[in-house]
């Protein structure tokens, strides 16, 4: 595991062989392969869950929780906010979880996790680690107060938000993580400004950094090695930690089920979703774009943005491009050698 930590977060992998970015690779050592390549991975969320075909959140949750399990020798308690992940994984009395798992209310996962961590501390069970997880609704909207409290007290909890950019479980209603112009059940693609408003946006990762907690990171299901490295690094730290994972939702985004990882990849490669990490309030690293794409590449395969392509050159596409460009500049997403 140390070997994963030793890898520079943004190093250009130079194995010069096929499959360098793949989950596993027979030509590299066991330590350099992803946790997900292991036959002994915990499969924290097992087969038979009721997530939709191609669910990005189920995938992101298994990636993150399996890595966390590996990092603490399976001494993990997971607190799960209400939301898609909870509903599709655990319809009473069945559960897909193969990990100690507590269901909280929609908005108080961070507070419940704080309590669980306090209980283990009182009992002297130092080996037990606690994580909380929820969707964007339970994190960026409803749970933000409890989350901010957990940050501010620096409670020993790793909080992971699986961001699929709307309230998918209840029928795709807008959340504060819904991107501009996206059509949802509550932001219909009608009228003079169809889809979601071009607001100021809300970045919980940056809100978390404003609390100067020990560790904050963003990640996507399209870069497993990066995601696992961040979870494992986060598990090596005590105190409040926050990881924000972009998880495409085929149903809510109106995308093909087989495009889940492709869309997560395009969100990164266009600059729409910046992948970075920070410690104590400062950004320390950002993941460089490998093959930069215009935002249309990300928008076009999704029906929630179909109204942008009804007539040519919709000015809102340029607005979205401007947001992506601003991300690229702010987080320094183009590697020096790629800047001509």
Partner 1 sequence: MDHPFAITLDVGSSLNNQTGSWRVSRPVYLDRLPPCNNACPAGENIQEWLFHAESGDYETAWRALTKNNPLPACMGRVCYHPCEDACNRITVDSAVGINSVERFLGDEAIKKGWKFDKPATETGKKVLVIGAGPSGLSAAYHLRRLGHSVTIRDAGPKAGGMMRFGIPSYRLPRDVLDAEIQRIVDMGVEIKLDSHVANVLQAKTEGKFDAVFLAVGAHIGKHTNIPAGAAAKIVDAVSVLRSMEGGEKPLLGRRVVIYGGGNTALDVARTAKRLGATESIIVYRRNREKMPAHDFELEEALEEGVVMKWLSTIKRFDDDGKLTVEKMKLDETGWPQPTGEYETLEADSVVLALGQDVDLSLLDGVPGLVINKGVVEVNKQMMTGAAGIFAGGDMVPSERTVTVGIGHGKKAARNIDAWLKGETYDAAPKHDLAVADNLNTWYYTDAPHTVRPTLDMVRRQSTFEEVVKGLDETNALYEARRCLSCGNCFECDNCYGVCPDNAVIKLGPGKRFKFNYDYCKGCGICASECPCGAIKMVAEDI
Judged by the rule CB under 8 A, the positions of this chain that interact with partner 1 are 13-27, 33-34, 36-37, 39, 43, 45-51, 53-56, 58-59, 62, 89, 92-96, 224, 250, 256-262, 265, 291
Q: At what angle do helices 56-71 and 260-269 cross, to 10 degrees?
A: 80
CA distance 155 to 277: 19
> Is residue 139 within 8 Å of 147, Cβ to Cβ?
yes
- Starting at the edge strand that comes first in sequence, how are the strands of the sheet with 76-80 ordered? 100-103, 76-80, 129-135, 158-163, 241-246, 215-220, 276-279, 282-286
CB of 18 to partner 1, least distance (A): 5
CB of 51 to partner 1, least distance (A): 6
Query: Cα–Cα distances in Å, from 27 out to 8, 38, 207, 234?
Result: 20, 15, 41, 28
Q: Which is nearer to partner 1, 21 or 309 (CB)?
A: 21
CB of 337 to partner 1, least distance (A): 12
Q: Which is nearer to partner 1, 18 or 282 (CB)?
A: 18
CB of 238 to partner 1, least distance (A): 29
CB of 40 to partner 1, least distance (A): 10
Residue 205: helix, strand or coil by DSSP?
helix
Which residues, 6+ apart, have CB-to-CB distance to 242 below 8 Å?
Answer: 147, 151, 158, 159, 160, 161, 204, 205, 208, 213, 215, 216, 217
Bridge-based pairing of strands 276-279 and 215-220 is: antiparallel
Q: Which is nearer to partner 1, 90 or 187 (CB)?
A: 90
CB of 236 to partner 1, least distance (A): 23
Q: What is the CA radius of gyration of the chain?
A: 19
CB of 44 to partner 1, least distance (A): 10
Q: Which is nearer to partner 1, 60 or 278 (CB)?
A: 60
CB of 214 to partner 1, least distance (A): 29
> Is residue 218 within 8 Å of 274, Cβ to Cβ?
yes
Q: Which is nearer to partner 1, 53 or 125 (CB)?
A: 53
> Is residue 305 within 8 Å of 311, Cβ to Cβ?
no
Q: Which is nearer to partner 1, 8 or 291 (CB)?
A: 291
CA distance 337 to 77: 43
CA distance 118 to 83: 25
CA distance 167 to 39: 34
Q: Which is nearer to partner 1, 204 or 222 (CB)?
A: 222
CB of 291 to partner 1, least distance (A): 8
Q: Which is nearer to partner 1, 114 or 302 (CB)?
A: 302
The H or E element spanning position 286 is strand 282-286
Q: Which is nearer to partner 1, 26 or 123 (CB)?
A: 26
CA distance 337 to 102: 47
């Amino acid at each position: 595991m140390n070997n994963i930590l030793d890898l520079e977060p943004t190093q250009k992998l130079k194995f010069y062989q096929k499959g360098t970015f793949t989950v596993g690779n027979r030509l590299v050592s066991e330590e350099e392969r992803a946790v997900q390549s292991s036959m002994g991975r915990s499969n924290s969320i097992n087969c038979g869950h009721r997530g939709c075909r191609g669910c990005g959140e189920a995938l992101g949750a298994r990636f993150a929780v399996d890595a966390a399990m590996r990092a603490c020798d399976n001494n993990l308690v997971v607190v799960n906010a209400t939301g898609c992940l909870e509903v599709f994984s655990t319809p009473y009395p069945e559960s897909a979880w193969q990990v100690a798992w507590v269901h909280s209310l929609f908005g108080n996962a961070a507070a419940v996790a704080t309590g669980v961590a306090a209980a283990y501390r009182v009992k002297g069970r130092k080996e037990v680690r606690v994580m909380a997880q929820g969707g964007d609704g339970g994190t960026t909207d409803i749970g933000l107060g409890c989350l901010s409290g957990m940050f501010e007290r620096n409670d020993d909890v790793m909080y992971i938000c699986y961001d699929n950019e709307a309230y998918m479980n209840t029928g795709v209603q807008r959340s504060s993580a819904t991107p501009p112009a996206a059509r949802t059940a509550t932001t219909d693609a009608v009228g003079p400004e169809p889809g979601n408003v071009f607001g100021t946006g809300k970045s919980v990762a940056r809100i978390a950094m404003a609390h100067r907690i020990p560790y904050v990171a963003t990640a996507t299901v399209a870069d497993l090695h990066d995601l696992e490295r961040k979870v494992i690094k986060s598990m090596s730290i005590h105190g409040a930690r926050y990881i924000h994972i972009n998880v495409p939702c085929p149903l809510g985004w109106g995308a093909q089920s087989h495009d889940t990882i492709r869309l997560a990849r395009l969100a990164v490669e266009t600059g729409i979703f910046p992948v970075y990490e920070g410690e104590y309030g400062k950004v320390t690293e950002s993941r460089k774009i490998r093959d930069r794409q215009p935002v249309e590449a990300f928008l076009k395969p999704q029906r929630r943005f179909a109204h942008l392509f009804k007539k040519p050159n919709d000015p809102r596409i340029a607005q979205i491009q401007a947001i992506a460009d601003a991300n690229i500049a702010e987080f320094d997403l183009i590697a020096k050698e790629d800047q001509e």
